[in-house]
Amino acid sequence: MLIKRSTPHHPTERDVTPEAVYQDRRLILKGLGLGTASLAFPAQASLLDLFSDEKAAPAPATKEIHYKAAARPEGVTLTPLEKATTHNNFYELGTDKGEPARNAHYLKPEPWALKVEGEVAKPFTLDVWDLINKTELEERIYRLRCVEAWSMVLPWSGIALADLIRRAEPTSRAKFVAFETLYDPEQLPGQASSNLGGGIDYPYVEGLRMDEAMHPLSFLAMGLYGKTLPAQNGAPIRLVVPWKYGFKSIKSIVSIRLVEEMPPTTWNLLAPNEYGFYANVNPQVDHPRWSQASERFIGEGGIFGAKRQPTLLFNGYGDEVASLYQGMDLRKWY
């Protein structure tokens, strides 16, 4: 269902997806009635949202993939597939958590061309389905921490980002990597509607410093739970950078461009004081409008019952990645 929201706006990630507010509104609406309550909440979160059917998600159309399964780490609870595919941020398919699943059918991930270009000796265009069908993908169990203070742990399959970049032979001028999501409003209707897509200037873009991109943890995922990615999770290929806030993990990528200068990134463009280029998970650096000290783990059950746990520096991957930021003031380079 396409819901009309009142005015175009420049959201911040939490403004348009306020789970806590959503719950509060329900309670307040019961007590106060619609008219008064509507003034108290962000205009873009229409009251109609309250009555949308969160369960109407079509089954994701995915295929079996060939991958080397990872050992399931002991004492780690995985987020169920059902949660990972119905609680999404993919604003091109809608800004509410349930909308990407409901609008997933718009995106046609097959065929899919991905370019690796820019400051490289050997630029190439890849058919992502070739990669999926002809490679044994590797499975990685990664924590993903959203800037909105919820987290998931999921088994992704794919390849190291560095593998793909190396094939293009970066030149010495390559200092950063710029990523771009597909721009096609027919497949990603939020790109054509500020009501649906949150008024972001699309295509969604992201970036990493070269050493971050080449780090063995940086991963291009083409599978989730042993099947190709559901559209709402960024089919057919998306980034997963597990030590950074989720917004760095750009979905449905069509271009990976090696560049000399730090590239623009979507959330930094929208609200530079709230979202930096680095976006390393850090419990000591709060978002200007909320604490990052703890998070809700999305496991069984809904987000409201979700277990609160402390946020870990670099999302728990500090042993592997802290050296990348030696000597940098992480309060300044948030």
CA 260 to mean position of chain CA atoms: 25
Judge whether 63 and 230 are in contact, CB under 8 Å: no
Integer Cα distance of 131 and 154 in angstroms = 21
Contact with ligand MTE (CB under 6 A): which of 15, 49, 92, 96?
Answer: 92
* Selected binder of ligand MTE within 5, 244, 251, 296 (CB under 6 A): 251
Binding mask 111-150 for Mo ion (x = CB under 5 A): -----------------------------------xx---
Peptide bond into 203 cis (omega under 30): yes
Q: Does 83 bind ligand MTE (CB under 6 A)?
A: no
155 scored as a contact of Mo ion (CB under 5 A): no
Least Å distance between CB 204 and ligand MTE? 4
Distances (CA, A) of 240 to 23, 68, 156, 253, 278: 29, 18, 9, 12, 14
Q: Please tell me whether residue 41 binds Mo ion under the rule CB under 5 A.
A: no
Q: Which helix (H) or strand (E) holds 142?
A: strand 137-145
List the single partner that 67 binds among ligand MTE, Mo ion, none, CB under 5 to 8 Å by kind. Answer: none
Whichever of 90 and 129 has its CB closer to ligand MTE, that residue is: 90
- Label residues 115-131 b or e (16+ Cβ within 10 Å = b): bbbbbbeeeeebebbeb
Alpha carbon distance 101, 46 (integer Å): 19
Identify residues 143-182 at the interface with ligand MTE (CB under 6 A).
144, 146, 181
Tell me which of ligand MTE, Mo ion, none is bound by residue 92, counting a contact when its beta carbon lies within the kind-specific cut-off of 5 to 8 angstroms: ligand MTE
| Site mask for Mo ion (CB under 5 A), range 81-100, x = bound | --------x-----------
